[in-house]
């Protein structure tokens, strides 16, 4: 009898050990997957710094591209082009996105709001190359030419759903009693929304806007056949315009070492720009007091 009990004990002990071991093994695998992703990020980053940084200098930052074969030259036109198109896109995209977010959070109930919310999510998941196609048919073709305006429009189109959904999420965090307090004081609802609800979440909304800007600043596909590219400095928004991502793409697939180096240097600048926006907003904008649900 006692030996049987002993056997059972040994058996369960063995099983327990096996289960414990399996658990440890799986935990090891899970850690490994996290490590794999992290090391890929470090590899991408490392190469961009290692190959890009040595070629970033004043000449690269402030001069125009040189023809093939000549050394030197830079991407000044592409930097300006990206800044200008992102700015033009933001002028349309930011107000549109924020107001849609306001509608969704302050009035958005029922079928129509569901439709808007769903459309915003769908718009956010449309491949960016399809956005480019749409803008080509909508703007480039009727205007009979590639233009920075078309490029900016495609960037705006990508920004809108991101900003809208983010704004909605943030405004929903504003506790209802703040709205009620404002309304009880006799403040018109639109003023309550603009002056109390929106202003209270300004920090978070700014973060969302900055993230959207960082996202579109790196977009290449929608610019390929809307803004096209331009080897010269151009500030006229109705003409084709260079942009940093498109320039990186063109230089990366070209068979010239000189251009490939410039692509890495451009990539370094782009990555720095995107990450400064990403990290800067994360640390600079502190969550506001309103950002907690009651």
Partner 1 sequence: MKSSPLPMNNQNTSVFEKIILRKDVRFADRVFFWITRLIALLLVGLLVSMGLFLLNASSLAIRSSGIVSFVSTSVWDPVKEVYGALPVVYGTLVSSVLSLIIAFPLSIGIALFVNELAPAAIGRIVGFLVEMLAAIPSVIYGLWGVFVLVPFLREYLQPWLISKLGFFPLFEGPAYGVGLFSAGLILSLMIIPTISSISREVFAAIPRGQREAALALGATRWEMMKLSVLESSKAGMFGAMMLGLGRALGETMAVTMVIGNRAQIVASLFAPAQTMSSVIANEYAEATSDLHLSSLALVGLILFVVTFVTSSLARLLVWRVTRSQRKLK
Q: Is 119 in the site for partner 1 (CB under 8 A)?
A: yes
Q: Which of 7, 9, 14, 43 touches partner 1 (CB under 8 A)?
A: 43
Binding mask 65-94 for partner 1 (x = CB under 8 A): ------------------------------
Length of the chain: 294
CB of 109 to partner 1, least distance (A): 4
Nearer to partner 1, 1 or 266 (CB): 266
Place of tokens 């349309």: 92
Verify binding: residue 175, partner 1, rule CB under 8 A.
no
Q: Which helix (H) or strand (E) holds 207?
A: helix 202-217
Phi, psi angle pair for 220, to nearest 5°: -110, -50
How far is the CA of 117 from the CAs of 44, 103, 110, 255, in angstroms?
Answer: 35, 10, 11, 45
Q: How far is the CB of 225 from partner 1 (least distance, A)?
A: 4
- Which CB, 2 or 144, lies closer to partner 1? 144
Asked if residue 51 binds partner 1 (CB under 8 A), the reply is: yes
> How far apart are alpha carbons 238 and 140 in whole angstroms?
10
According to CB under 8 A, which residues from 97 to 116 bind partner 1?
99-100, 102-104, 106-113, 115-116
CB 183 within 8 A of CB 196: no
Restricted to residues 125-154, the positions that interact with partner 1 (CB under 8 A) are 125-131, 133-134, 136-138
Q: Of 1-9, 44-52, 73-81, 85-93, which part binds partner 1 (CB under 8 A)? A: 44-52
CB of 245 to partner 1, least distance (A): 5
In whole angstroms, how close is the CB of 35 to partner 1 at the nearest point?
9
Nearer to partner 1 by Cβ, of 1 and 29: the residue is: 29
| Dist CA 113 CA 107 (whole Å) | 8
Residue 78 neighbours by CB under 8 Å, 6+ apart: 242, 243, 244, 246, 247, 266
Residue among 233, 227, 281 at smallest CA distance from 249:
227
């Amino acid at each position: 009898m006692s030996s049987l009990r002993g056997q059972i004990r040994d058996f369960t002990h063995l099983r327990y050990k096996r289960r414990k071991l399996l658990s440890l093994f799986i935990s090891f695998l899970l850690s490994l997957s996290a490590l794999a992703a992290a090391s890929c990020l470090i590899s991408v980053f490392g190469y961009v710094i290692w190959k890009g940084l040595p070629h970033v200098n004043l000449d690269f930052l402030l001069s125009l591209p040189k023809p093939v074969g000549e050394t030197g030259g830079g991407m000044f036109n592409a930097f300006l082009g990206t800044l200008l198109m992102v700015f033009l896109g933001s002028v349309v995209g930011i107000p549109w996105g924020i107001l849609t977010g306001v509608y969704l959070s302050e009035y958005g109930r029922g079928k129509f709001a569901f439709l808007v919310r769903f459309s915003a999510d769908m718009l956010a998941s449309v491949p960016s190359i399809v956005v480019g196609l749409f803008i080509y048919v909508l703007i480039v073709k009727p205007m009979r030419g590639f233009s920075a305006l078309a490029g900016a429009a495609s960037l705006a189109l990508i920004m809108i759903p991101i900003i809208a959904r983010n704004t909605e999420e943030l405004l929903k965090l504003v506790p209802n009693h703040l709205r009620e307090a404002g309304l009880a004081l006799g403040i018109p609802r639109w003023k309550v929304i603009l002056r109390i609800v929106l202003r209270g979440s300004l920090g978070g909304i700014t973060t969302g806007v900055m993230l959207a800007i960082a996202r579109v600043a790196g977009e290449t596909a929608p610019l390929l056949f809307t803004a096209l590219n331009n080897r010269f400095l151009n500030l006229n928004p109705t003409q084709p315009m260079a942009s940093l991502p498109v320039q990186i793409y063109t230089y990366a697939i070209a068979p010239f070492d000189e251009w490939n180096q410039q692509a890495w240097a451009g990539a370094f600048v782009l990555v720095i720009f995107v990450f400064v926006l990403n990290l800067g907003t994360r640390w600079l904008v502190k969550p506001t007091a309103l950002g907690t649900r009651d």
